[in-house]
Structure 1
């Protein structure tokens, strides 16, 4: 089934945020997936996002893939992720959070904010995350504030995202870190991405 054949889900919260719910039917757990940078073509149809969603749905877990609202240089995108988490929580018993690249930083920042509010996701995974979105939005620093099982996955040849500070901080706090033999785009590695990200999510949901 293609995205055009699925229902577009409006995510409430004051910004124009649309999502696609991949639901295997009868799922009681869901993962919210944050796409890459919207000004660089990042969308909910990104193949790495789809690879993780496919892994999850094949194992009975739903995935809510969303597109950000109007570009806001980070704060609005973090809000979009939190609103998507709220939407999923109203419909599923357990909710996890995942993001790739820019979306990886968004996921970390959203998870930290949710943790500070006492509502951390059940599990968080960031794939090739950017270290920060702005001076005020430091994803590496946010790692220590996340009260959820956490895994960081990155490509050993990735020279696009500044993932180093995130990986360093994750190791300092005892979070899981997985290195894949790839660059930032994980060309030909969709199955490896799905396994490295999805297995951690499935095990904790």
Structure 2
């Protein structure tokens, strides 16, 4: 495991941090900062943040077009086990947003497990990326990224039909506007791409 500092160095840094806090202190937020924050909340007390709060923040970020990526803004305090905190943090962020994500990991030894189990998504490991050995690549037909991309486009066109509008809402829109896209093309069973 990578460990750039010795135990002695870690203890020196910790002691120096405690000395700075003892001399300088920690100042709570001023009324100018505290009052607007408290008045914006139905509760006048701060509460510990949870993994559900982190998930909600990721979902909120997912809807904001001017934000391109999500980095963990809070630490969930409802999970004490560091491994579980790392796993749940990445899961909550990846589940809550399709945007690029960033977070810190408490212990580096959790990283491989997180990548292998929780964070394996299109955002982190695009399916078009080729991670095969050269021999396996040849055995699979030697497709380059253009070939894989073309095949993936065909798969998406054939199988992906969002159902983000009810049939009733669609009928209302079609009755009001001159929609030229045939209903048969938006139906996964009757589109020209269905198999």
Q: Normalising by structure 1, what TM-score?
A: 0.27
Which structure is richer in relative contact order (CA contacts within 8 A, separation 6 or more)?
A: 1
Larger radius of gyration: 2
Q: Normalising by structure 2, what TM-score?
A: 0.28
Of Structure 1 and Structure 2, the greater strand share is in 1
